[in-house]
Structure 1
Amino acid sequence: MKSTYLAGRLRAVLRRLNVVTVLAVLAAATVTAGAASADTAHRGDRGRLVSVQRLTTLAAKEDVAAALAAARYDASTVRFGVDAYRLVYRTVDPGGRPIAASGLLVLPRGGGRELRTVSFTHGTVSYRSDAPSSMTRAGFVSSPAITYASAGFAAVAPDYLGLGAGPGLHPWMDVPSETTASLDMLRASRAFVPRTGRALGHDVLVTGFSQGASAAMGLARALQAGDDRWFRLEAVAPVSGAYDFRHAELPALLDGALDPKSSVLYSAYLLVAWNRLHHLYDSPDEVFRAPYSSTIEALFDGSHTGPQLFAGTPDTIDALLTPYGFEMLRHPTGRLAEALGVADGTCDWAPRVPVRLYVAGADEQAANANTDRCRATLRSRGVDAAVVDLGIPDFAGSRHLGSNVAGTAAVVRWFSHLR
């Protein structure tokens, strides 16, 4: 279904949030000189806690409710005040080499000593300071973690590589590194939480929004496979994911079925980010039209805010892509096809825990066909995942953003009733 949202509405969203939910800084994370090669990376170092910074305390549940309401999130499940921390920890880059990353940990100021854990993986941000652990108050990106913690869970929200306090650039939609960063953030959280007089239990409830929906499925699969000896998967609840870029998201982007500006930003992002990861082209003018071919890669360095990226890109995909760029995305071959195969494989497994896929009606950024294909793939593996229709939620004129708010409210209730 074609989007009914105008570019002007999206521009207002970006100015209001200072976060682009359709775009991120790109490329593989920078590795410091002398870092160990992939085959010599020290597995035992993964998840090691480097530093902790207390970000904020909302001492009373009334304080949390007020903060969530100000961020336009549902505060009806708040039971406790919360403490929020930034953790910096060791993980690995897309090549398996050691690197640091950061994330947000939010703990309830009440409840039992042993906490159930929710891992929330966030949607795309364009500016490194828009990552969850950079937020000192409840905002669009940090409010889900605050919601889960205030309901009694330990909420773990990785920034991913190259965002927050992590060095280098962020390799967007690189599910393998999203998975390792998420798993290692869980390990770092488990190492820190005893300092607060609490402990993390074995069970992890996994959720995520947009980009984070694929990351959530990647983490869930790793947990079920036993990639960590302590943590075990309890349930999975991704929201508004782009689970099938090749067959669902890319056709919708290229054919005008989604918001035009969103399509520009996603397409530009995919080509630039994955070129740095997989070398898809030799020169940007092969795939991008002038004048954007000379500026677009520099825009995606993590230091540009959402409004800056919005202003520096065209309003239509026809003004962005060369005929060769269109052909590359419409009929992927070679390295691009291989990379899409990895990104699009997040639903191709058989979860042995409850699974719900959350989706908004006529999402203008993540084509609903993504969720349909994920459900069908899971069903082919013998898993009948429920699809939860969030209706037509709105956040600053966007159904996609609205699904993060509505999905958080729905998922926290489901997680709370699993026991």
Structure 2
Amino acid sequence: MSVHIEPIGRFLLAVGVIVAVCHLGGLLCHRIRQPPVIGEIAAGLLLGPTLLGAVAPSLQRALFPEEVLQAVGMAAQLGLVTFMFLLGSELRVDHVRGNGKVVWALVAGSILLPFLAGTGFALLTRPAFGTPQVSTTAYALFVGLAMSITALPVLARILADFRADQSFLGTLALMAAAVGDALAWAALTVILAVTGSGSTGELVLRSALALTLVLLTVFVVKPALRTLLHRLPVNSRVTVPALVVGTTAFAATTEVIGLHPVIGAFLFGCAMPRGSAVLQRASAQLRGFTVSVLLPLFFAGVAMKTAFDAFGTAGNWLLFAAALAVATVTKFVGASSGALLAGLDRARAFQLGALMNCRGVTELVVATVGLQNGFVNEFGYTVLVLIALVTTALTGPLARLRAEEAPQENHRIPMKHGGTFHVRQD
């Protein structure tokens, strides 16, 4: 006897399976001292057509028919924009004050070299990774940006797991990652604004609208939010709904402009006042459901878009190996060189080079934006996903800092070429 399941039932079943499998993968990775996000992403890949679809194609089609995938994708977009709001609201670049020399040296080294190398690599590999939807310049700029990403939220989680988030190296890495993330999303906004489809007039209009939104956010929305959140009681019931409304409104606005919804969500998050008890409580409530339920749906969506069947030739495996080498080596060399130029000793500089290689969820978001906007094809997207997995998996073992790098209270670290580095806790 066949069992008929209505579409809503199929959707709910799919959500339950995705959340359960992803969290099981996260727990397994946590047991082996790897970031849970690695297991969650890998578990999502198991549910995709390349793995589950190859072993049990009828089961995979029954669990994830096209209409269910569309519904899961919509829910995943909500999770993605909420996550980007949280990322923006928690971004702290104010700590750079007093530590500008060493932080900016690390940021410059960890971004410029992989960006330039990634751009050059992209120009050589466009037939394999690119699409005819965008120009060669836009494609190369996007790949260069993707190669230079450091995932702030995953890096923070890794350092916290090893109780190194308040250590000298941990503090420095997090500050540099925060500045790098802000620059990366700003750069992605510019790339999306100036490379979209349409006439020159439409591109100018899109850029002008994007700039207007940024200015309104900085000079109107941000002061208004500071005043409103200061007046609200900590346990106000309207805070979370108001933040969701603001996040979705900003996300929808940037979508209408011709950018990507994650840009608007991130911008709205950046407008949040720092140190607000009301915001911290509301963010904690949002984070629980977003990270536990909605982000696994995004990971599953990533799995459904990966094209592992494209790795059937030795040539494509070599392309992946080359892309991985370019991403990891240039990031390590660039970050380490920046740290050395700022006056750090070689051992600390090399550890920072390893830490700044963490890409995690941020790389997945950037890769998804690239696929949706035609910057990369499915093979290029899959390569970026695998780079995110491999580099994040390597960061955990390399983040086991030496005993002398244990957490310390506010202190100053003497630099090799003179001066000090101040570790702040607030």
The two structures have a TM-score, normalised by structure 1, of 0.24
For the pair shown, which has the larger CA radius of gyration, 1 or 2?
A: 2
Higher relative contact order, structure no. (Cα contacts within 8 Å, ≥ 6 residues apart): 2
- Whichever structure has more strand as a proportion of its residues is 1
Q: Which one has a larger percent helix, Structure 1 or Structure 2?
A: 2
